[in-house]
Amino acid sequence: MPLPSLTPDAFKALLSRFPTGVTVVTARDTEHRDHGITVSAFASVSLTPPLVLICIDQGAVMHRVIATASVFAVNILAADQEALSRRFAVIDEGRFDGLTVTRGVTGCALLGGTVASLECVIRDRHTAGDHVIVIGEVVAGAVNDESDGPLLYHRGLYARRAP
């Protein structure tokens, strides 16, 4: 007997009940241009070696960038950076215009004012449905102890603390 399947809308509604942190993932293309995208599908995978994963929609420009990149950075957004999250979720061109960025050891753009940043070397990619799962080994990172905590996303809304 075949099992029923969920519609994309039903699946999205179910997952929206789980609050997630919000990140901006950055990488450079083969011509060394910066690219970035808002990502909530981010998780730790392993402590030894230190591995994390990100999931990128195959329809996103960032998918083409990450397919040829060897490194990426994860910028964990602070509670007051909702506008930055929206900017990297919507705007395709000029996402970095007017922003102050620093370069980490990987050369990726690190955004100011974040809770933390991680720089990763890509170790593996796995196609999964309409996304690609990218596994990165963390080679550097920084924590901002002055931050007021992370930006969260829950039930389609931004929040400053878990509901």
| Angstrom distance (rounded) from CA 67 to CA 62 | 8
The tokens describing 42, both together, are 């981010």
Task: Write down the pLDDT at residue 162.
Answer: 56
Q: How does pLDDT run across 129-150, given as a tens digit for each residue? A: 999 999 999 999 999 988 889 9
Domain ranges of the chain: 20-153
Q: How does pLDDT run across 74-91, given as a tens digit for each residue? A: 999 999 999 999 999 986
| Angstrom distance (rounded) from CA 134 to CA 124 | 6
Say which CATH topology domain 20-153 has.
Answer: Pnp Oxidase; Chain A (2.30.110)
The tokens describing 22, both together, are 């919000």
| Angstrom distance (rounded) from CA 53 to CA 102 | 23
| Angstrom distance (rounded) from CA 39 to CA 20 | 10
Under DSSP, the state recorded for 3 is P
* Amino acid residing at 51: L
Statement: residue 24 has pLDDT above 70: yes
Q: Would you say how long the chain is, in residues?
A: 163
Task: Write down the pLDDT at residue 98.
Answer: 92
Statement: residue 59 has pLDDT above 60: yes
The tokens describing 108, both together, are 């990726």
Give the 3-state secondary structure of residue 111.
strand
Statement: residue 160 has pLDDT above 70: yes
Do 119 and 67 touch, CB atoms closer than 8 A?
Answer: no
Sequence-separated (6 or more) residues with CB below 8 Å from residue 12 = none
